[in-house]
Chain A
Amino acid sequence: MLGDRDILIDRYKQFLTAYLSGRTEQALYRAQQFSRKMLEQNISPEEVINMHSTVLQTINGGIPEEIRDSFDFLIEVMMGYGMAYREHQILRDKQKALESEIEVAASMQQTLLQGDIPVTDKLDIGVISKAAKQMSGDYFHFVQNRPESINVAVADIIGKGVPAALCMSMIKYAMDSLPEQENHPSMVLENLNRVVEQNVDPAMFITMFYGNYNTDIHRFHYAGAGHEPGFYYDAKNDNFEEFMAKGLVLGVSKTTQYQAFDKDIEEGDMILLLSDGVTECRTSKGFISREEIVTLIRSYMHLNAQEIVENVYSDLEQLQDFELRDDFTLIILRRSV
């Protein structure tokens, strides 16, 4: 340790003498490189000043007493900076550890979220879900429990990041434990509502849309709990309309009842489900309107459902300068035949 210090002082003296004799830019460049080296070796600011003072006393016959003592004053002044610097380094290491923990949790969440998206020749399905931070508060889930019966759930948990992700795991678990209700959207919501009301912080709530698609009769049976409205595309009239099921968000009142609705789906019709990350897109010019999103979807409508959601996402990402403010989920169900 002592040896290292002597070498450093020796170097410093060499560089400083070189600078004082020529005052060249090259010598200053050396100083810059030297500072990087000192940072690597955790040399604190007060030590640098001490080094400077020590070296000055050995070259050109030393320095006046007054200047030498003034360095003691400067060392004292720099103590606070030195302490702040060391604390900063420790906090930076802590942050790294925290980030790697979150990364592990995020990949766990990914495995939780991942479910197979049903494949059927009667329904063209496209899904995209992106987290604003490492962990997502958006949730979606598909279950095909009979060849003709496909269930879809989209949920948005208030807030983002770790707390939202924790809450999402709870929802996932609660959903998995209710298989006998899977085809009854209003019952699914009523049960989840009780789970959320009991287990979650009072200021936290969840919005959800739940639907059951029967591919034999092409009827969509659905219910909503305060979820951001989606869109319905009526192919025959070439028209987009708002698609929502009214209902109170999950977690506000124990006794909330949810109403289910039915819709008959015609060939070429599309059901678009989304999270508010889609409609809350903010650009430098303000919020993106729902009409603008419809225009975007229209421009990709000739593609298959997966290509549509991917293109819409990449366009919206670009409009926001690649900075996602909220988790983003977009699902398209299009009746093929």
Chain B
Amino acid sequence: MNLQIQKETEGNTDKLLINGEVDAYTAPKLKDTLISLTEQKGREVVVDLSGVQYMDSTGLGVFVGALKSSQQHGSSLKLTGMTERVHRLFDITGLTDVMNIEAHTKGEVR
């Protein structure tokens, strides 16, 4: 499966638009992009997940890693546009309580 990552930069904010599936095969690609951004002090990183239909636990791990990296380096991380299926994953794992996630979710895309 494929994963496309688009980056838009506006001032201090980097917005990542992600399309496809985030799983064990595609996670390393996302990790590289995301970690290098969160390592920059003061940077605001927004990840739009509305194009992600499927994410597995390895994918979730990338966001856990990015969260720790942003806390360590003084950047911020926000996730937006989660589909119901993806949101459920963040909910079950308790990550909705420790991450900045924009509440609005879209209907499930299969």
Contact = CB atoms under 8 A, between A and B. Distances in A.
Interface residues on B, range: 20 to 34
Interface in A231-283: 244, 246-249, 251-253, 276, 280
Interface in B87-105: 92-95, 97-98
Interface in A166-203: 201-203
Contact of A204 (B61, B69, B93, B95): B61
B62 A203 contact: yes
A166 B64 CA distance: 20
Contact of B57 (A158, A246, A253, A287): A158
B65 interface: yes
A205 interface: yes
Contact of A158 (B31, B60, B67, B68): B60
Interface residues of A, number: 28
Interface in A204-219: 204-205, 207
A202 B92 contact: no
B24 interface: yes
A252 B67 contact: yes
Nearest to A159: B58
Contact of A203 (B56, B65, B95, B98): B65
A327 to B, nearest CB: 11
B65 A226 contact: no
Contact of B64 (A156, A203, A228, A280): A203
A202 B34 CA distance: 13
Contacts of B97: 248
Given A248-B98, A252-B67, A203 B61 contact: yes
A contacts with B: majority SS: loop
Contacts of A204: 61
B57 A276 contact: yes
B94 A280 contact: no
B95 A252 contact: yes
A247 B31 CA distance: 25
A287 to B, nearest CB: 8
A249 B24 contact: no
Interface string B43-79: 0000000000000111011101101110000000000
Contacts of A247: 94
A160 B25 CA distance: 12
Contacts of B92: 226-229, 244
Given A156-B57, A203-B65, A226-B93, 20 more contacts: A158-B57, A158-B60, A158-B61, A159-B57, A159-B58, A159-B61, A201-B65, A202-B64, A202-B68, A203-B31, A203-B64, A226-B94, A244-B92, A247-B94, A248-B94, A249-B94, A252-B95, A276-B57, A286-B110, A287-B110
6 contacts: A160-B24, A202-B65, A226-B94, A252-B64, A253-B98, A280-B56
CB-CB nearest 5 A-B residue pairs: A203-B65, A248-B94, A226-B93, A203-B61, A202-B65
